Structure 1
Amino acid sequence: MNLISVLLFLSLLMAAVVTQVPKPCVVPPLMTGDFSVMASNGKMSTGTISYDAYGQKLRVRNNGVTGYGTSALDQLMLFNQEVFYEIDWGNLSCKKMPLEAYFFPMQVPSDAILMGQAIMGSSSSWGMGLLVNTWYEALPYNGTYSMVFSDIGCIPLTYSGYSPASGWTTVRLEPGLTELQKYSDLDFRPVKDEPQHLGHCQL
């Protein structure tokens, strides 16, 4: 009788786990990766991103293509110091500006709505596919966005946003988790570390 009770309890527990609804989550505190951006107006860009929630730092290296040519920007946001550095490699200029923004961890917003779950890649073999969650939410002025995060680890993968004014924008991420060996990538000081021909960052 006891064995039957235990088996019944385990079956109910497994059923509860299977039917558990995904919840909004926060991405890992240290992360680097590649990204690509495509907009409906024809603008495209690729680059790398380094994210540090512990130190409240964000660095974006961006190579863009527009109808007017190309651009290469290196941007570092130090939220805890309220400083924003921007290096334009096209004209070898460097700017240091005040950062008037608060740091918000990368996450699925608490009011986002779960659209559904899917498996990216193959599901025919164990470990070949990735279970992902798609979230969406309406934006002001008839806008909307959707985001895809991995179910395990809360890794951001894609973002699509729409507004009547600017049209569609899609961001695709290829992130890689990182530990302290990549941390030096965020210790970027353009005034001290960049080539001398850039001169001093202008305030």
Structure 2
Amino acid sequence: MYAAVTLFVFMCLTATTHAEHHQPCHAPNMTGHMSVMSLKGEMRAFGAFTYDSMGKKLRFKSNESSSINTSLGLDLLMFFEEGIFYEIDSKNQSCEKKSLQSTLEPLDIPDDAKFLASIHAGSSSIEGEGLKVNVWTGSMADMKGHYSMSVTMGCLPVSTFYFTESTSLLFSNTDVELEIKDPDLLLVPSFCLGLPVEETPEGTVHSFINEFM
């Protein structure tokens, strides 16, 4: 499956041009929905996200009332700049505070990403029937893998493939709005305040992506 998907992605991209010079853009503040699927077809998670692009903060919470069957229930509050995150259990009023070994953000293009190509999803000749995206790629040294991120001309992330030695995941974003609807979601809950950072077992890499593996 990994080889087939990789081949498909790169075959689609070969028809585009590399002539223009591109610099990575940075995503705006956003609220929306995110789904995470393994390339074996398993829906790992589906939920709502709130992203503060300037503060480099992200909240993702699985939608337990969704009709989409998922294998993971998560409530994550990520502070990428500080290098920490919280696993939140609102039902039991408890948290785990952990360090981030990889601060790769799933909604922003890394500064060292390489521009691969511009492509049209759907039709480029019929108005309203296509979407032009730029595709960026890069490596993830901490996780021994690579990524391929598609973003709109306005720098809204549409989807990202993550390929690692152990698994491959597809992150897709929908219903995106350019605002932080509820800023309180990006605050540490009162029952999480004052917690020490848990020790990271040797050989463990904590990252947003790893939480779905």
Give the TM-score of the pair, scaled to structure 1: 0.64
Aligned residues: 168
1:97-112 aligned within 5 A: 97=97, 106-112=107-113
Aligned identity (percent) is 33
TM-fit CA distance, 1:53: 2.5
- Equivalent residue for 1:21? 21
Distance 1:70 1:107 in 2: 25
1:149-160 aligned within 5 A: 149-150=151-152, 152-160=153-161
Gaps of 5+ in 1: 1-18, 192-199
- Equivalent residue for 2:200? none
- Residue 53 to residue 104, structure 1, CA distance change in 2 (3 Å): farther
- Equivalent residue for 1:174? 174
| Equivalent residues of 1:50, 1:59 under 8 A apart | yes
1:42-191 aligned within 5 A: 42=42, 44-62=44-62, 70-78=71-79, 84-88=85-89, 92-95=92-95, 97=97, 106-140=107-141, 143-150=145-152, 152-164=153-165, 166-174=166-174, 176-179=176-179, 182-188=181-187, 190-191=189-190
TM-fit CA distance, 1:78: 4.7
Distance 2:57 2:95 in 1: 17
Distance 1:100 1:168 in 2: 20
Alignment-mate amino acid for residue 58 of structure 1: L
Gaps of 5+ in 2: 1-18, 65-69, 196-213
User: Of Structure 1 and Structure 2, which has the larger fraction of its residues in strand?
Assistant: 1
- Residue 179 to residue 159, structure 1, CA distance change in 2 (3 Å): closer
| Equivalent residues of 2:36, 2:170 under 8 A apart | yes
Alignment-mate amino acid for residue 158 of structure 2: L
- Equivalent residue for 2:33? 34
Question: Once the two structures are superposed, what CA deviation does each residue of 1:24-81 show, in whole Å capped at 9, x if it has no partner?
Answer: 11111x11111111125746111111101334432110259xxxx9543222235678
